[in-house]
Amino acid sequence: MKRRDFVGLTGLATGALWLPSFPGFSGTLVDPARLLEPGLDVAVKKRLADAALNTAKAAGATYADVRIGRYLNQSVFTREKQVQNIASGESFGAGVRVIANGTWGFASTNTVTEAGMAQAAKLAVQIAKANSKVQKEPVKLAPQKGQGVVSWKTPILVNAFEVPVKEKVELLLAANAAALDNGASFVNSALFQVNEQKYFASTDGSYIDQDVHRIWPNFSVTAIDRASGKFRSREALSAPMGMGYEYLQPKAEDKIAGPAGTGLVGYRNSFDMLADAALAAKQAKEKLTAKSVTAGKYDLVLDPNHLGLTIHESVGHPTELDRVLGYEANYAGTSFATLDWKAKGQPYGSKLVNIVADKLQANSLGAVGYDDEGVPTKEWNIIKDGKLVDYQKIRDQAHIVNQNESDGCCYADSWSSVQFQRMPNISLKPGTQKLSVDDMIKGVDKGIYIAGRGSFSIDQQRYNSQFGGQVFYAIEKGKIAGMLEDVAYQTNTLEFWGSCAAICDASDYRLFGSFFDGKGQPPQVSAVSHGSATTRFNAVNVINTARKI
Amino acid sequence: MAILSQTEAQAILKKVLGFSKADECEATLNGQSGGNVRSARNAISTSGGIDNVSLTVESRFGKRSGVATCNQFDDATLRTCVTRAEEIARLAPESPEYMPLLGPQKYLPLPPTFAKATADITPDYRAAQVGSSMVICDERKLSSAAFLNDSAGFVAKRNSKGLEAYQQLSGLEFSITVRTPDGTGSGYATADYNDASKFDAKTLTRIAADKAAGSRNAKALEPGKYTVILEPAALVANTDASLLQALMSALDARNADEGRSFLSKKGGGNRKGEKLFDERVTIYSDPTNAEVPDLMFSGDGRPQQRTTWIEKGVVKNLYSSQYWAQKAGIPDIPRPGGWIMEGGTQSVQDLIKGTAKGILVTRLWYIRPVDPQTLLYTGLTRDGTFYIENGQIKFPVKNFRFNESPIIMLNNLEAIGKPVRVGGNLVPPLKIRDFTFTSLSDAV
């Protein structure tokens, strides 16, 4: 069955007017006002959760957890001077996960009553018992102390759902106008907002209420030269963030000047959509006549809004323990960073490379108080002084690497999806010596500066990757020397991180992120941030991507 | 609940339209029931199920439109859903691309999109199929990871202009990756069907297992331009972007007319009618094809007809929205579901026999656009890449990264094999000269 057979037939995907809003979202479309209505009272959620936990235990479960989730989202799409779609969604239900006969079982329901919860719990136990017949080793959970009754909330300043839709539409249309005024032929813009109201309870004695917010503004500006038939686009240099609408209220202190001669501006904790749209239009036009790169080895200076994706693909995914062990072999793949490889102690990168995992960073997409199996979140080292020191793991994986503590990075994208190991924030620590981007560029004889997320591809074990970008500038003898086009770099993960030669200091540190990172079968999405400062990599292989057809 | 009959479904939709106070109203019911099993390391890892019917209501006042959904069908819920769609419509901005809802449409006779065998699948059936696959891998001391997903359901549509549509569908897809325990060999197989009675996990498992065992100790070849035989799963993927799907997705009239497509013409207009590919390339869609039966109507209710997209290398048709078709004064053709590339009679084995030197590619992976101007894509070979010499597979080779455009690829055509079903499309294996591999990968 092709998913589009069903999904494509809903009103959401018909023609230009109704675009699909959120990948994987299976809730109902509602009035925007509904997004501000309160969910169930926490005392009611506790009673419902206990109904599931008690039923699961009575049916033979040795462990059970319940997630009662209300997932809210809103998306706004525009192009040029018109609104294409505004969709507000709500999805409400509960998932029950159990261990019975040493085997996982999971069931979900949108009948969130004591009877509905009990029925889902019974079904989860039945499934666990059925699957236990082909189970080879019993599930071993890392111990987890019950957290009691606790809560956590993303520290937002402005709930995006409290901002009138009209105001959001006006912002996107103003950004479009800024792009058109500066020479864009076309512009599409979008705003995604998410609020996960999640209640978790387990037989360990945890009752955790969380209110998680995320936001992502984005646009794509296209410039066309009709005479030559050439077209080029430039996307926004925004990042998806774990923030409220305050991200769209630009502040001067969040703007970080890019290299002299580029006009680029980096954004930290707020985004100036109008200014970036205007610049994007100018840069899209400039790309039409930019010099085509000569293939060869270059020293690359990578902006955090670009490097985040490279970190995601070449460090984030290969250090997921479920991939390392083979659980994703049929879809996303496995990893070169096997337990045997790690045991050999070979370098992952140069000694400058220190990469941390965390679920704590302020304003990040990964930040929560507790993960989706009730584990308090933390920060830990993945790569220290260039060597792989740890993986990302959850409760049923810790014993495999002889540890007895989960890292707190278990996540499900819906109440109806079973939780599994997902990437926490994975970030490159900034340099400890004072170093600005301009000072970094001064030391580069022949190089390329790259900003923005472009084309990206990496193999199923995360060795060989190819990355493009949004804008490329030649660096010659320590100075920016004009825009380049047709640039992509091809590299091997270990060579790439081994060539890391310098990292700017913390004043240049910013978050990049992925709002819809896919994994699993059936696929689930998750959101994850990657922080870094501008970083230099020496002698990287750059190819020219221009072709004649 | 998930599979309502035409009478049951239309009764609910009539009731919904009866509650409407809007200028125009369209209601769509979508039902799906099915399940999945996932395995890894020769054991079941997760399983899940879905059983849901949802209603989508679109209400319109003038050029303003609102959509609401629900998944319960008592009168009060239906009424609330309609009211909500109307409230959203009243608040919505006017759409400059407004097109009135379609009236009654004539659809082709229903093809066999629904099979009872698929609708009757039980958890035991799924466990037995995946179990039979795991036994083969256990016996051969190989490790497998697989995914079996099936569903059966229906779509029903009705609007205030008199449009009425109903169709049942079912489908099953299976994919398996088999690896050697030392991690030096990997093989893959996939298949999809409307009718589950055609499915046998064992046959596909043996193909993947043979490829895994045969791909051990791969040799490194220099990257460069090679003659390749691309198996159908290397041309179209269920789970990822793909070279041929990228080409089909690019046949959008509006993008071409707006100047942002490889089909845009210098100076304006589009390249419909131009010969852009080898003359042996013919691609069409036909929802009545018995091997890849498809929906008879598009999401907005337009009929899906047999449509030729590329004929003997010439671009014959582009798809568009109703709005763009009217504005540009072009034929109003919706985007197709699946599609069919014409081929010959040769199997992959036959193509190998006729190859002096070349590379057999089982599958391509992580395929991403590099340059929309030329439809250049990058990605990598995966799960079974072999060197061919004098008509025989000689040895496995290490995986490559490619940078290639389907447009260039379909001009460098050497031979076309017999089409097989992949992802709801009929796709032949292709033998291509000068396929561009730009670097080596150590991945297995």
For residue A28, the chain B residues in CB contact (below 8 A) are 54, 68-71
What number of other Cβ atoms are within 10 A of residue A251's Cβ?
A: 13
Whether residue A20 is contained in a domain is answered as yes
Q: Considering CB atoms only, which of A186, A464, A521 is closest to B401?
A: A464
- Tell me the CATH number at B103: 3.30.2290.10
Whether residue B119 is contained in a domain is answered as yes
CA distance B347 to chain A (A): 25
- In this predicted model, what pLDDT tens digit does every residue of B309-354 receive, in sequence order? 999 999 999 999 999 999 999 999 999 999 999 999 999 999 999 9
Separation of alpha carbons B89 and B64, rounded Å: 5
Q: Considering CB atoms only, which of A29, A185, A224 is closest to B68?
A: A29
Q: For residue B110, what is the DSSP state?
A: P
Coil, strand or helix: which one is B347? coil
Contact B145 A458 (CB under 8 A): no
- In this predicted model, what pLDDT tens digit does every residue of B143-168 receive, in sequence order? 999 999 999 999 999 999 999 999 99
pLDDT value at residue A22: 63
Domain ranges, residue B355:
218-243+343-440
pLDDT tier, B240 (very low <50, low <70, confident <90, very high otherwise): confident
B50 and B182, same domain (yes or no): yes
Domain ranges, residue A29:
3-214
B43 with A136: CB under 8 angstroms? Answer: yes
Whether residue B337 is contained in a domain is answered as no
B234 and B172, same domain (yes or no): no
pLDDT tier, B239 (very low <50, low <70, confident <90, very high otherwise): confident
A141 with A404: CB under 8 angstroms? Answer: no
B176 and B110, same domain (yes or no): yes
Q: Considering CB atoms only, which of A224, A543, A547 is closest to B259?
A: A224
Residue in chain B lying closest to A485 (CA): B371
For residue A130, the chain B residues in CB contact (below 8 A) are 123, 127
B238 and B383, same domain (yes or no): yes
Separation of alpha carbons B196 and A107, rounded Å: 25
B153 and B233, same domain (yes or no): no
Q: Considering CB atoms only, which of A104, A331, A459 is closest to B380?
A: A459
CA distance B282 to chain A (A): 19
CA distance A86 to chain B (A): 8
For residue B145, the chain A residues in CB contact (below 8 A) are 326-331
Q: Considering CB atoms only, which of A232, A330, A336 is closest to B176?
A: A330
For residue A186, the chain B residues in CB contact (below 8 A) are 258, 260
B104 and B223, same domain (yes or no): no
- Residue of A81, A327, A330, A487 to mutate, interface with B, max B Cβ within 10 Å: A330
Separation of alpha carbons A511 and B93, rounded Å: 34
Q: Considering CB atoms only, which of A6, A230, A330 is closest to B32?
A: A6
- Residue of A109, A220, A484, A549 to mutate, interface with B, max B Cβ within 10 Å: A549
Distances (CA, A) of A509 to A431, B304, B357: 9, 52, 51
* Mean pLDDT estimate for chain B: 96
| A–B CB contacts, 8 A cutoff, strictly below | 275
B236 and B117, same domain (yes or no): no
B368 and B422, same domain (yes or no): yes
CA distance B405 to chain A (A): 9
CA distance A386 to chain B (A): 21
- Residue of A460, A465, A472, A517 to mutate, interface with B, max B Cβ within 10 Å: A460
Whether residue B331 is contained in a domain is answered as no
B358 and B435, same domain (yes or no): yes
Residues 6+ apart with CB under 8 A from A217: A172, A189, A190, A191, A192, A236, A238, A247, A248, A271, A273
Whether residue A19 is contained in a domain is answered as yes
Distances (CA, A) of B279 to A175, A179, B283, B311, B415: 46, 42, 11, 8, 12
B226 and B91, same domain (yes or no): no
pLDDT value at residue A24: 59
Residue B80 main-chain phi, psi, to 5 deg: -65, -40
pLDDT value at residue A28: 86
Separation of alpha carbons B211 and B208, rounded Å: 5
CA distance B356 to chain A (A): 27
The b-or-e profile of B93-123 (16+ CB within 10 A means b, else e) is: bebebebebbeebebeeebebbbebbbebee
- In this predicted model, what pLDDT tens digit does every residue of B64-108 receive, in sequence order? 999 999 988 999 999 999 999 999 999 889 999 999 999 999 999
Q: Considering CB atoms only, which of B123, B171, B266 is closest to A228?
A: B266
For residue B424, the chain A residues in CB contact (below 8 A) are 2, 5
Whether residue A149 is contained in a domain is answered as yes
**To which residue do tokens 């929906």 refer?**
B295
For residue A309, the chain B residues in CB contact (below 8 A) are none
Contact A543 B438 (CB under 8 A): yes
Contact A134 B44 (CB under 8 A): yes
Number of domains in chain B: 2
Whether residue B402 is contained in a domain is answered as yes
Domain-terminating residue out of B168, B191, B211: B211
Number of domains in chain A: 1
For residue A136, the chain B residues in CB contact (below 8 A) are 42-43
- In this predicted model, what pLDDT tens digit does every residue of B203-232 receive, in sequence order? 999 999 999 999 999 999 999 999 999 999
What number of other Cβ atoms are within 10 A of residue A433's Cβ?
A: 9
- In this predicted model, what pLDDT tens digit does every residue of B242-298 receive, in sequence order? 999 999 999 999 999 999 999 999 999 999 999 999 999 999 999 999 999 999 999
Separation of alpha carbons B420 and B164, rounded Å: 33
Residue in chain B lying closest to A464 (CA): B441
- Tell me the CATH number at A160: 3.30.2290.10
- Residue of A1, A10, A170 to mutate, interface with B, max B Cβ within 10 Å: A1
Whether residue A230 is contained in a domain is answered as no
B173 and B236, same domain (yes or no): no
CA distance B323 to chain A (A): 9
CA angle A24, A30, A36 (to 5 degrees): 105
pLDDT value at residue A422: 98
Q: For residue B219, what is the DSSP state?
A: B
pLDDT value at residue A2: 31
pLDDT tens across the length of chain A (549 residues): 232 222 222 222 222 223 334 665 668 888 899 999 999 999 999 999 999 999 999 999 999 999 999 999 999 999 999 999 899 999 999 999 999 999 999 999 989 999 999 999 999 999 899 888 877 889 999 999 999 999 999 999 999 999 999 999 999 999 999 999 999 999 999 999 999 999 999 999 999 999 999 999 999 999 999 999 999 999 999 999 999 999 999 999 999 999 999 999 999 999 999 999 999 999 999 999 999 999 999 999 999 999 999 999 999 999 999 999 999 999 999 999 999 999 999 999 999 999 999 999 999 999 999 999 999 999 999 999 999 999 999 999 999 999 999 999 999 999 999 999 999 999 999 999 999 999 999 999 999 999 999 999 999 999 999 999 999 999 999 999 999 999 999 999 999 999 999 999 999 999 999 999 999 999 999 999 999 999 999 999 999 999 998
For residue A9, the chain B residues in CB contact (below 8 A) are 28, 30, 155, 157, 295, 299
CA distance A444 to chain B (A): 26
Whether residue A114 is contained in a domain is answered as yes
Q: Considering CB atoms only, which of A104, A336, A466 is closest to B378?
A: A466
What number of other Cβ atoms are within 10 A of residue A163's Cβ?
A: 18
Q: Considering CB atoms only, which of B47, B155, B378 is closest to A9?
A: B155
pLDDT exceeds cutoff 90 at B390 = yes
Q: How many residues does chain B have?
A: 444
**To which residue do tokens 């609104």 refer?**
A83
pLDDT value at residue B334: 97
Residue in chain A lying closest to B407 (CA): A549
A411 with A457: CB under 8 angstroms? Answer: no
Separation of alpha carbons A215 and B86, rounded Å: 27
Residue in chain B lying closest to A1 (CA): B171
Contact A229 B44 (CB under 8 A): no
Separation of alpha carbons B133 and B438, rounded Å: 36
pLDDT value at residue B1: 55
Whether residue B134 is contained in a domain is answered as yes
pLDDT value at residue A132: 86
Is the pTM value of this prediction over 0.90?
yes
Whether residue B158 is contained in a domain is answered as yes
Contact B28 A226 (CB under 8 A): no
